[in-house]
């Protein structure tokens, strides 16, 4: 027999926070016994399974969320399986009458949510959904002709023109306790039982040293950024050897901080005029919005060229050795290698280096961008269903508002310009730490015999020419 008391359910997904969580706040206000559930859904059609680094993050984020819920008199129920089925079962077990969630924007997730909503309506449950994770929902921003935007600048201008960005909601004071166990409410899974953490080998030490997943960690990152480098973001964001950016990306990815909260904190500090550098930072949040806008209208952004003419591009299948050299940071180009090692060790890579490392794979090695996108998906703690493919396609030239194909990042020039003293290179490539001055940017020219560091995998001018020829062939075909 199901519980006789009517209850409600909050289904948390990419919104692992108590602050500015409309679904949670609305459910709390209702005052009914409340089940807060997270479902690990690896079964619903099309839902992209998490990579290794995001699994690690999710484990710690859920642990942190569970603690925060308990401190408010609630708890976090964990279930695994196809979400629609789990929600139906849970609603029956708990005699739920209300169901709350914050909206998601990927196609497979929207399909699941629509099915749950249809079932809820038929079954007499009230299902309510909210805007929480994007400042501008993709369908609300339209060109004059009524279509989606394809270029960032007019997109962001249109967003801001009508901008009425709401204030974030406060953390609910207390939360209703979960329904009493009557014998029908099944116990949840244990987090450890999900085995999200790596073992044999446990490669997560470098991640743990750098990151603090969860809402507290997110709040600290935001405050540290605004107290620190924000007003010099315009230049600082290009220097990988300093902490010139916010490092909020994994926190935003898992919804541990809401973009409305970030926006509000900036407005609070600068009520009259936002300094230019902070404005540049805000427009980076705009790029996040733009990527989701693109994914919403192009659901297969991770597998299909946004520009269909690129379907004819003649990629080369990378040799196993070449690909491993790129993945492991052994291409012989220090800027690329430092980035790939930063990614492997910490689950994150500086944006400037992401662009250079991606360009090297796609252009100098003529490798299909999807190969790199897949590697990033597995290794980034901020691996995001929209931003990752959109940025890979941007680098490849196949994307929306993309970098032109002929713009081929030169890793040596980038390195000399953005890491002139070699601080970043020395940190991630200890084999090069003793090279003097500028020699570190081109170690093969140093005259020093380096037993531990490889010679360049490809010749830069030659591979650049090859890439340009391949692109010309595409244009001519
Ligand atoms: P900040 O410079 O502090 O920017 C603030 C926030 O703005 C970021 O946290 C992020 O949410 C957003 N943002 C900044 N730049 C971009 C951008 N180009 N596109 C979309 N959003 C942006 N970002 C991801 O969040 N997930 C990904 O999977 C991802 N994959 C990428 C793959 C490639 C090949 C490239 C070139 C970039 C990728 N990016 C991705 C974008 C960018 O590199 C990261 O968002 C940024 O480095 C995160 O660091 P930060 O939080 O310190 O950024």
pLDDT digits 0-9 by tens, 158-182: 999 977 899 999 999 999 999 986 6
User: What's the mean per-residue pLDDT of the chain?
Assistant: 96
Q: How many whole angstroms separate alpha carbon 238 and alpha carbon 417?
A: 10
Task: Check if 392 is active-site.
Answer: yes
User: Could you tell me the pLDDT band of residue 451, with boundaries at 50, 70 and 90?
Assistant: confident
pLDDT tens digits for range 38-75: 999 999 999 999 999 999 999 999 999 999 999 999 99
User: How many angstroms separate the CA atoms of 90 and 116, rounded?
Assistant: 12
pLDDT single digits (tens) 364-373: 999 999 999 9
ipTM over 0.85: yes
- Examine the residue annotation and report whether 369 is marked as an active-site residue of this protein: yes
Please list, in sequence order, all residues whose beta carbon lies within 8 angstroms of the beta carbon of residue 168, skipping any fewer than 6 positions away.
19, 20, 258, 260, 261, 264
Please report the pLDDT score of residue 187 as a whole number: 78
Q: Residue range 384-389: average pLDDT?
A: 98
Per-residue pLDDT at 4 exceeds 80: no
CB 377 within 8 A of CB 388: yes
Ligand 1 close to Cβ of residue 249 (< 6 A): yes
Give one DSSP letter per residue of 271-297, joined into a string: SS---HHHHHHHHHHHHHHHHHHHHHH
In this predicted model, what pLDDT tens digit does every residue of 414-448 receive, in sequence order? 999 999 999 999 999 999 999 988 999 999 999 88
CB 325 within 8 A of CB 378: no
Q: Which residues pair with 128 in a beta bridge?
A: 100
Kindly indicate the confidence band of residue 215, based on its pLDDT and cuts at 50, 70 and 90: very high
Cβ atoms of 34 and 177 within 8 Å: the answer is yes
- The answer to whether 11 and 37 are in contact (CB under 8 A) is yes
pLDDT score recorded for residue 185: 60
Catalytic residue among 369, 375, 377, 394: 369
Q: Which of 119, 203, 315, 344 is catalytic?
A: 315
Asked whether the predicted pLDDT for residue 111 surpasses 50, the reply is: yes
pTM comes to: 0.97
Contacts of 119 (CB under 8 A, 6+ apart): 84, 88
Partners of 35 in the β-ladder: 9
3-state secondary structure 355-409: HHHHHHHHHHCCCCHHHHHHHHHHHCCCCCCCHHHHHHHHHHCCCCCCCCCCCCC
The answer to whether residues 430 and 397 touch, using CB atoms and an 8 Å cutoff, is no
Burial class (CB in 10 A: 0-12, 13-18, 19+), 219: middle
- What pLDDT is attached to residue 3? 55
Q: Which atom of ligand 1 is nearest to the CA of 392?
A: 34
Mean pLDDT within 212-235? 98
Is the CB of residue 444 less than 8 Å from the CB of residue 332?
yes
Residue 1 in this model has a pLDDT that exceeds 60: no
Taking the C-alpha atoms of residue 101 and residue 81, their distance in angstroms, rounded to an integer, is 18
Nearest CA to ligand 1 atom 23: 387
Q: How far is the CA of 253 from the centre of ligand 1 (A)?
A: 10
pLDDT at 79 exceeding the cut of 90: yes
Closest ligand 1 atom number to CA of residue 377: 28
pLDDT above 90: residue 196: yes
């Amino acid at each position: 027999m199901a519980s006789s008391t009517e209850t409600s359910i909050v289904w948390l997904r990419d919104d692992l926070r108590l602050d500015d969580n409309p679904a949670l706040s609305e459910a709390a206000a209702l005052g009914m016994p409340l089940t807060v559930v997270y479902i690990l859904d690896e079964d619903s059609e099309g839902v992209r399974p998490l990579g290794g680094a995001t699994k690690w993050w999710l484990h710690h984020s859920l642990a942190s969320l569970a603690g925060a819920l308990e401190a408010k008199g609630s708890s976090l129920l964990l279930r695994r399986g196809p979400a629609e089925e789990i929600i139906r079962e849970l609603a029956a077990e708990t005699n739920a009458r209300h169901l709350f969630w914050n909206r998601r924007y990927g196609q497979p997730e929207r399909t699941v949510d629509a099915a749950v909503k249809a079932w809820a309506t038929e079954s007499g449950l009230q299902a309510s959904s909210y805007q929480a994770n994007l400042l501008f929902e993709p369908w609300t921003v339209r060109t004059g002709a009524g279509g989606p935007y394809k270029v960032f600048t007019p997109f962001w201008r249109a967003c801001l023109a009508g901008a009425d960005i709401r204030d974030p909601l406060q953390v609910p004071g207390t939360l209703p306790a979960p329904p009493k166990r009557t014998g029908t409410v099944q116990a949840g899974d244990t987090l450890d039982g999900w085995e999200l953490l790596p073992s044999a080998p446990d490669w997560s030490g470098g991640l743990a040293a750098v990151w603090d997943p969860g809402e507290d960690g997110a709040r600290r990152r935001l405050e540290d950024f605004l107290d620190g480098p924000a007003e010099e973001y315009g230049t600082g964001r290009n220097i990988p050897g300093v902490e010139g950016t916010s490092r909020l990306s994994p926190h935003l990815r898992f919804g541990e901080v809401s973009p409305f909260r970030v926006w509000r904190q900036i407005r609070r500090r600068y009520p009259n005029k936002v300094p230019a550098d902070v404005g540049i930072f805000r427009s980076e949040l705009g790029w996040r919005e733009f990527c989701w806008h693109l994914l919403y209208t192009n659901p297969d952004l991770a597998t299909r060229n946004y520009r269909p003419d690129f379907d004819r591009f003649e990629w080369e299948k990378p040799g196993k050795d070449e690909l491993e050299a790129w993945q492991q940071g052994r291409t012989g180009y220090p800027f690329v290698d430092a980035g790939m090692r930063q990614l492997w060790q910490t689950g994150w890579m500086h944006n400037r280096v992401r662009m250079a490392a991606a360009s090297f794979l796609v252009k100098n090695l003529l490798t299909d961008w999807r190969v790199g996108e897949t590697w990033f998906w597995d290794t980034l703690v901020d691996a995001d269903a929209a931003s990752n493919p959109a940025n890979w396609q941007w680098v490849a030239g196949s994307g929306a508002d993309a970098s032109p194909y002929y713009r081929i990042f030169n890793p040596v020039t980038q390195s000399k310009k953005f890491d002139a003293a070699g601080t970043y290179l020395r940190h991630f490539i200890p084999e090069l730490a003793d090279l003097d001055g500028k020699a570190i940017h081109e170690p093969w020219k140093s005259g020093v015999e380096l037993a531990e560091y490889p010679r360049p995998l490809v010749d830069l001018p030659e591979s650049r020419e090859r890439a340009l020829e391949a692109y010309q062939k595409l244009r001519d075909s």
